[in-house]
Amino acid sequence: MSNKKLAIIATKGTLDWAYPPFILASTAAALGYDVQIFFTFYGLQLLRKSLDHLKVSSLGNPGMPMPMAMDKWFPVLAQALPGMQSMMTMMMKQKMRSKGVASLEDLRNLCAEADVKMIGCQMTVDLFGFQPSDFIPGIEMGGAATFFEFAGESDICLFM
Amino acid sequence: MANIDKELDARGLNCPLPILRTKKALNDLTGGQTLRVVATDPGAIKDFQAFAKQTGNELVESGEANGEFTFVLRKKA
């Protein structure tokens, strides 16, 4: 019996949205799935050597729970002030650490150890002018057809 | 109570780390050996049932005491 297959397209480059692809990929691998993640557009940020630059923003994100009920009294426009995004990111990271949520680096390493195949979208790599040296080793580059080669035979296919 | 071949402390860890660490710990065992995992993530109860069902490793024991969840898994032969 061949393994089940999970194909993921990761398109977002924020701290919060970096989690779903790595959590699901690593868990699926632990359950015996073959997994591929195709990183395109802003998702390419998740393949950068360091993930420290990833941020979370409350702007345009009314569902984000805010500390001290800030969403009730703090004007949305003020969230656009310089430094707000860094502050939100710092608070989010602190909360994650205090709740025992894994770091993104750890999850990504676990994915790599579990043979999750990570593919960078060549077109968007060229579009944004990334260099191969910007990314972690062990990834491949490919296009839409490369993705479908695996996704076409997958049992689960997710766009994130 | 069956003897335990390996222990894993997953307390304080959150989804999906308890499952990922469990999978790693099972890799060090041979078929039929047992692993005891202690976790504090309330989601672990369902997750360990699902993990056992999907991987074929048997969930021999599952218990809760003082906010800690204990699971004993027997590695698939």
Bridge partners of A159?
A: A9
pLDDT of residue A52: 93
At A80 the pLDDT is: 85
Question: How crowded is residue A40: how many other Cβ atoms within 10 Å of its Cβ?
Answer: 20
d(CA A119, CA A122): 9
Among partner residues A30, A99, A101, which is closest to B20 by beta-carbon distance? A30
Which residues in chain B are closer than 8 Å to A23, comparing Cβ atoms? 15-16
Mean pLDDT of chain B: 94
Of A70-84, A115-129, B24-38, B42-56, the range with the lowest mean pLDDT is A70-84
Helix ranges (DSSP H) in B1-74: 17-27, 44-55
Cβ neighbours for A147, distance < 8 A, ≥ 6 positions apart: A7, A9, A36, A38, A119
Interface confidence, given as ipTM, is: 0.84
Number of domains composing chain B: 1
Three-state secondary-structure class, residue A48: strand
Is the CB of A23 less than 8 angstroms away from the CB of B16?
yes
Set B4, B15, B50, B77: catalytic member: B15
- CB contact at 8 A, A10 and A16: no
Asked if A33 is an interface residue toward chain B (Cβ–Cβ < 8 A), one would say no
pTM of the shown model:
0.90
| pLDDT band, residue B1 (cuts 50/70/90) | low
Residue A112 sits at the chain B interface (C-beta within 8 Å): no
In a domain, B58, yes or no: yes
In a domain, B12, yes or no: yes
- Residues with Cβ within 8 Å of A105's Cβ and at least 6 positions away in sequence, in order, are A51
B16 touches chain A (CB under 8 A): yes
Task: Give how far the C-alpha of residue A159 lies from the chain's centroid of Cα atoms, to the nearest Å.
Answer: 11
Q: What is the mean pLDDT of residues A89-99?
A: 91
Supply the CATH number for residue B18's domain: 3.30.110.40
Q: What is the pLDDT of residue B26?
A: 96
Tokens of A123: 């077109």
Q: Which amino acid is at A84?
A: M
In a domain, B1, yes or no: no
What does the pLDDT average to over B4-33?
94
CA–CA gap between residue B48 and residue B26 (Å, rounded) = 13
Q: What percent of chain A has pLDDT over 90?
A: 77
Number of Cβ within 10 Å of residue B24's Cβ equals 14
Please write the tens of the pLDDT for every residue from A100-157.
899 999 999 999 999 999 999 999 999 999 999 999 999 999 999 999 999 999 999 9
CA B15 to chain centroid, in Å, comes to 13
Residue A76, pLDDT score:
83
Do B19 and A27 count as a contact with CB atoms less than 8 A apart?
Answer: yes
Residues with Cβ within 8 Å of A49's Cβ and at least 6 positions away in sequence, in order, are A134, A135, A136
CB B39 within 8 A of CB B7: no
Is 60 exceeded by the pLDDT of residue A1?
A: no
- What domains are there in chain A, each with its CATH number? 1-160 (3.40.1260.10)
Query: What pLDDT does residue B47 have?
Result: 95
Question: B53 touching A, CB under 8 A?
Answer: no
Contact list in B for residue A99 (CB cut-off 8 A) is 14
Helix, strand, coil % in chain A, rounded to nearest 5: 45, 15, 40
Full domain range(s) for residue B64: 6-74
Residue A50 has pLDDT above 70, yes or no: yes
Annotated catalytic, B35? no
Of A41-55, B1-15, B31-45, the poorest mean pLDDT is in B1-15
Tell me what the pLDDT averaged over chain A comes to: 93
CB-based contacts of B65, cutoff 8 Å, min separation 6: none
Residue B62 lies in a domain: yes
Distance from chain centroid for Cα A122: 17
**B41 touches B13 (CB < 8 A):** yes
List phi, psi (to 5°) of B25: -65, -35
Confidence band for B2, pLDDT divided at 50, 70 and 90: low
Say what the pLDDT of residue A14 is. Answer: 96
